[in-house]
Amino acid sequence: MDCMVCGGELKQEGNKHICSGCGYSPNPNESDINLRISPQELKSKIDKGEKIFLLDVRQPDEHNYAKITGSFLLPLNELPSKFESLSRERPIVAYCHHGVRSLTATRFLVQKGFKNVKSLEGGIHLWSNVVDRSIPTY
């Protein structure tokens, strides 16, 4: 089985799998429900002026086609080598196309000690349907 973050090999350690490359565990103990934020909740926080770091974990071609204004591109497969450059103080909301890669990125960052990180439910697809229809869907 390959790691969803870096593509490395997952090794069995006790009752969980851990990537030998980046240390990611795909079966964390925390509940994923606390790692998600709805598009409406994110929009409300942005409208209130909260300084949220929008982290796009898709590929460059996806980002070039459709993105949330002000977001920063860091593809999921590059996250293990570049996550230390992210602020641990500023709230982070990761997003992707539908929310799978961003939830993986969020789990990874939580496992690396980040405290204020969420995954955008439904990804940019849901965001473009309920918040900003000017963003193309694909």
Give the domain extent around 64. 30-130
Look at residue 4 and tell me if it is in a domain.
no
**CA atoms of 44 and 1, how far apart (whole Å):** 39
Neighbours of 11 (CB within 10 A): 11
pLDDT at 1 over 80: no
Q: How is the chain split among helix, strand and coil, in percent rounded to 5?
A: 35, 20, 45
Can you give the CATH number for the domain in which 35 is found?
3.40.250.10
d(CA 93, CA 74): 12
User: How many domains in the chain?
Assistant: 1
pTM beyond cutoff 0.85:
yes
Q: Is 3 a catalytic residue?
A: no
List C-alpha distances in Å: 130 to 25, 90, 137.
Answer: 32, 25, 12
Tell me the pLDDT tens digit for each residue of 46-105.
999 999 999 999 999 999 999 999 999 999 999 999 999 999 999 999 999 999 999 999
Which pLDDT tens digit goes with each residue over 10-58? 999 888 899 999 999 987 555 677 899 999 999 999 999 999 999 999 9
Residue 54 lies in a domain: yes
Q: What is the pLDDT of residue 29?
A: 57
Is residue 70 included in any domain, yes or no? yes
From 3, 19, 22, 96, active-site residue: 96
Residue 118 has pLDDT above 70, yes or no: yes
For residues 1-8, give the mean pLDDT.
92
Asked if residue 18 belongs to a domain, the reply is: no
Would you say residue 19 lies in a domain?
Answer: no
Res 32: pLDDT? 77
Residue 36 lies in a domain: yes
Residue 23 belongs to a domain: no
In-domain check, residue 98: yes
